Amino acid sequence: MFSWLGTDDRRRKDPEVFQTVSEGLKKLYKSKLLPLEEYYRFHEFHSPALEDADFDNKPMVLLVGQYSTGKTTFI
């Protein structure tokens, strides 16, 4: 009934090991998502393709709000 739950060695893949999470995400994006985005021309009507710098840079957050609403406390 639930044959897909069994240990089918033909379907099992060896896991890939990455040094960092960003390295793994970068490889997955380039091998799985980017071909789909190019096939459906996603970049023509939305954002451009992600580059290596998009995965390697530190994230930034902009806090906007009125006086005394806890922006500094958030930091």
Residue 7's pLDDT band (boundaries 50, 70, 90)? low
Look at residue 33 in the predicted model and tell me its pLDDT. Answer: 95
Interatomic CA distance for residues 16 and 39, integer angstroms: 26
Look at residue 49 in the predicted model and tell me its pLDDT. Answer: 92
Contact 57, 23 (CB under 8 A): no
Interatomic CA distance for residues 68 and 7, integer angstroms: 58
Look at residue 56 in the predicted model and tell me its pLDDT. Answer: 87
pLDDT digits (tens, 9 = 90+) for 23-61: 999 999 999 999 999 999 998 999 899 999 988 888 888
Interatomic CA distance for residues 11 and 19, integer angstroms: 25
Q: Where are the domains of the chain?
A: 3-74
